[in-house]
Structure 1
Amino acid sequence: MRITGRRENRDGQEVLVLTRKFRAGIEDVWAAVSDPDRMRRWIGTWSGDPAAGSIAFRMTAEGDDVPEEVYDIESCEPPGRFAVRSRAAAPFSEDGSGERVHWALRVDLVEKDGVTTLTFVQALADGPLGPDMVASVGPGWEYYLDRLVAAMDGTDVDAVAWSDYESGSAAYRALFTD
């Protein structure tokens, strides 16, 4: 797997940044990443009233057993930007024994000449958890963003196979190891 993510420091915080380009207008891409019905095609869905400041999000692409998580909306500026933070700190490790982290996510959209660039940013935990966390979430976000590309292109989202992304863990860990 070729990784497309990059490491950045934004305001003193280590972040993972991934981009994708779409031959589509910004409004169409905005709908794909914010409308619950369109999101269901590639990642999950949400419920609630964003005007109240939070939503409940559930990843449907991982099966029916995944619980809803509440995300507080830190900013929402249609059709160009939104940022959310998980309300509950989730255990990072697969077995639930690791450090608990909040998921801080941001999406920025910019359109130029009929091409919309999506920039996805996830803040990472400080310290040794950073490389371990990115080894997991880096390939995961590659997978989900490629599912978004498929959904936008009208191709079979289920043809994007998770098994093609699992090998990216070592490369992502190396990217974030000093």
Structure 2
Amino acid sequence: MLPQPTGRLVRKEDGVYVVLDRIFKAPIEEVWSYFTRSPRLAQWIGEYTGTGSTGAVKFRMNAEGDGAEWQNVAVMLCESPHRLHVDVGKAPDSLVMFVHLTEASGHTTVTFGQRLRSVAGSADYCVGWDYYLDRLVAAHDGKAMPNWDDYYPSMRDHYQTLCRDLDHDLRLEHATAQRDGTTG
């Protein structure tokens, strides 16, 4: 059975985010380490150099092949083991991302979000985060990594529809605000 898309689009004050959740039967500190310890991060997405407490590190994806470049990461917020907000890459094209963790009844929920640059053209990013978060689950659980071909292009239509529908709604709201003389 192919994996199913799990992301949703969420409007926030600073833009639209693709948001996805994963649940782990593990303590919060253990799951947090998969975002903050380079050897564990490398098991599912990439590696970093530097010290996060300085507010900046360099990150390189290892799941994209050998040609991935190092990118600057600004750590905007780090409240261990609950919240991590980062900007990845160079402005104005940096990627704004967050990870929030909560623990209850022996389970830790990870909520991940990435701000979309353009709602209409972001379906591939959404598919990618389903894939990467499933890689996180596989790394944590000691299972085989998922196969990208099981995600793409099969999930693309789902996310294209979400993005297209929200983009349409945003355009209508903007047009209505322009017509009514309100901000929008």
Common topology (TM > 0.5): yes
Highest CA radius of gyration, 1 or 2? 2
Asked which structure has the greater RCO (Cα within 8 Å, sep 6+), the reply is 1
Which residue is 1:92 aligned to?
none
What is the alpha-carbon distance in structure 1 between the residues aligned to residue 147 and residue 78 of structure 2? 31
Q: In 2, distance between residues paired with 1:12 and 1:73?
A: 17
Give the corresponding residue for 2:132. Answer: 144
Match of 2:161 in 1: 174
Are residue 131 (structure 1) and residue 120 (structure 2) matched? yes
Report the 3-state secondary structure (helix = DSSP H, G, I; strand = E; otherwise coil) of the residue aligned with 1:42.
Answer: coil
Aligned to 2:54: 52
Normalising by structure 2, report the TM-score: 0.84
CA spacing shift, 1:11–1:41, aligned 2, 3 Å: same
Partner of 1:36: 38
In the alignment, what sits opposite 2:149? Answer: 163
2:121 is paired with a residue whose SS is: helix
Structure 1 residue aligned with 2:93: 101
| Displacement after TM superposition at 1:53 (Å) | 1.3
Amino acid at match of 1:165: Y
Instruction: Tell me if 1:2 matches 2:30.
Output: no
Closer, same or farther: CA 46–12 of 1 in aligned 2, 3 Å: closer
Runs of 5+ in structure 2 lacking a partner?
169-184
Q: Does 1:113 align with 2:122?
A: no
Q: 2:69 matched to 1:67?
A: yes
Partner AA of 1:61 in structure 2: A
Superposition CA RMSD, Å: 1.3
Structure 1 contact 131–174 (Cα < 8 Å) conserved: no
Partner of 1:122: 114
**Aligned AA (1:14):** V
TM-score, normalised to structure 1, is 0.87
Distance 1:37 1:86 in 2: 19
Q: Helix, strand or coil for the counterpart of 1:41? A: coil
1:111 Cα deviation from its structure 2 partner: 0.2
Q: How many residues align?
A: 162
- Give CA deviations for 1:136-168 in whole Å, capped at 9, x if unaligned: 1111011110011011111122xx000011121
Kept in 2, the 8 Å contact 1:15–1:121? The answer is: yes
Distance in structure 1 (CA, Å) of the matches to 2:53 and 2:35: 17
Q: Runs of 4 or more off by more than 4 Å in structure 1?
A: none
